[in-house]
Amino acid sequence: MTRSAARIFDEYLVAAARSGDRKALEMLAERWNRKLIAHAWRLTGDRELAMDSAQGAWLEILRSLPRLQDDRAFPAWAYRIVSRRCSRQIGAIVQNRRLSEAAANEAPAQEESAPSTLDEQRLRSAIAALPADQRSAVALFYLEEMSVAQVAVALEIPAGTVKTRLLHARRKLRLALEGEK
């Protein structure tokens, strides 16, 4: 499997940031912040909670970065930190009150530029309608181009569970998209 130039650049930034290069750390945060917020939103369904989770995760990432052994592991490692942060925040909210269904169905802020075609809009809507666990697996696997193993690390679940979630998500997406024709 060949690594893209972007992945290699990220690895360089991680190595430089671990050695104390503040500019590399700033560039790493600039490149990854939107991705981590998007992942947090997929897990929480709430924009503000996602932003809070990502911000808290960055503090943990900054503290723990010197201990990261493999620069190539940064994406899965960072997503795992965000996943844990989201889990803790959701757990705290559930203890205090039930999550409202309206917040779970709230439309996300655009992660990227608005879809340019009707097909892209339909696909994004279908993905947004998936359960959070399937939506996260689909987004990490297809949108972030992570391997099944990397998704498993990021979500802290077995690789078999990732495959099962992807299988069910593909079925639901196929039904949703074919049913609209």
- Taking only Cα atoms into account, the Rg of the chain, rounded to an integer number of angstroms, comes to 17
Instruction: List pLDDT tens digits, range 84-125.
Output: 998 888 777 666 543 333 333 444 544 444 545 777 788 888
Give the separation between CA 170 and CA 164, rounded to whole angstroms: 10
Query: Which residues of the chain have a pLDDT value below 70?
Result: 1-2, 93-116, 180-181
Give the separation between CA 81 and CA 43, rounded to whole angstroms: 12
Give the separation between CA 158 and CA 143, rounded to whole angstroms: 20
Q: What is the domain partition of the chain in residue ranges?
A: 1-107, 116-181
- CATH architecture of the domain formed by 116-181: Orthogonal Bundle (1.10)
Instruction: Please report the pLDDT score of residue 160 as a whole number.
Output: 93
Q: Are 26 and 20 in contact (CB under 8 A)?
A: no
Handedness of CA 116, 120, 125, 127 (dihedral sign): negative
Give the separation between CA 43 and CA 86, rounded to whole angstroms: 7
* CATH code of the region 1-107: 1.10.1740.10
Instruction: Enter the tokens of residue 53.
Output: 């989770």
pTM of the entire predicted model: 0.62
Instruction: Please report the pLDDT score of residue 180 as a whole number.
Output: 56
